[in-house]
Amino acid sequence: MSVNRATLLWGLIAEHATTAGLQVAAADVCAVAVSSAQVSGAWVAAASSRGPDFVMCVTDQVSEQLAELQQLLGEGPCQDVLADAAPVLAADLGDDESGRRWPGFAPEARSAGAGAVFAFPLMIGAIRSGVLGLYRSSPGPLSSLQLGDCLLLADTATVMLLDGLDGGGELAADGNGHGARPGGQSSDLAAHRVEIDQATGMLTVQLGISAAEAFARLRAYAYARDRRLADVAGDIVARRLRLDPDPAPDAGP
């Protein structure tokens, strides 16, 4: 049954790409996931040691907001899924469990238009390459068949992501999330990733701190001012914004 289902899903992925006249990419997996799981949107985020690191593709604006929120807040299903190496299924972001588990993300996600979020690890063995995320505009669980399809689609996205990042991690892509390699990151999302990495590097030099601390400072600044992480990074790279070092512990008021 799983073999036949996997073949069917792959056929749908290939058909979606062929209809657009493009090479198969992670964006096609997201599109099939939305249809198969009957959800409102989906995204794929690649991962680094600091968690879901940059968004490869999204199906809609809400998906992009949800992916960015988790990166900004440092919490959410996609953060947990990599730590746990197992799917995280939040069928109702308004329930007590979600509120306790993600006190920052849950209310923000609901305000963005999500009633449920489901996250699946993209991993082979010990390699955790990213996350497949899905959201539903209203609360509700995945059925057994939908859950099985998502697990199969996550396996497919894993292969695409690892293949797409092979050879130094450079991804050529058009604006639809299809690249010359199977990973396929959109040009806008790729630009955001580059600016965030550049800003983090600049902060390590300016503030004399580690890359992890620099990224935390960047994220905290964006969150405190209710701004997108990519926008703050762009201002730092363009030298329109400079963050001040933390005061010394023994400094006076």
Instruction: Give pLDDT tens digits along the chain (253 positions).
Output: 456 888 899 899 999 888 888 888 889 999 999 999 999 999 998 876 555 567 888 999 999 999 989 988 989 999 899 888 899 999 999 999 999 999 999 999 999 999 999 999 998 877 788 899 999 999 999 999 999 999 999 999 988 877 654 333 333 344 344 443 334 445 555 555 667 777 778 888 888 888 778 777 877 888 788 787 778 888 888 889 888 886 655 544 4
- Between the CA of residue 217 and those of 9, 32, 69, 244, what are the distances in Å? 42, 37, 16, 10
User: pTM to 2 decimals?
Assistant: 0.73
Biggest alpha carbon–alpha carbon distance for the chain: 69
The residue among 117, 95, 126 whose CA lies nearest residue 41 is 117
Q: Which amino acid is at 34?
A: V
The residue among 48, 75, 65, 47 whose CA lies nearest residue 135 is 65
The residue count for the chain: 253
How much is the pLDDT for 31? 95
Ranges of CATH 3.30.450.40 domains, the chain: 2-169+178-184
How much is the pLDDT for 165? 46
Nearest-10 Cα torsion for 234, 238, 240, 243 = 70
Q: Does 2-169+178-184 carry CATH code 3.30.450.40?
A: yes
How much is the pLDDT for 184? 45
189-237 CATH pick, 1.10.3470, 1.10.10, 2.40.50, 2.60.40: 1.10.10
Ranges of CATH 1.10.10 domains, the chain: 189-237
For residue 128, what are the β-bridge partners? 123
- Between the CA of residue 231 and those of 50, 60, 241, what are the distances in Å? 20, 19, 11
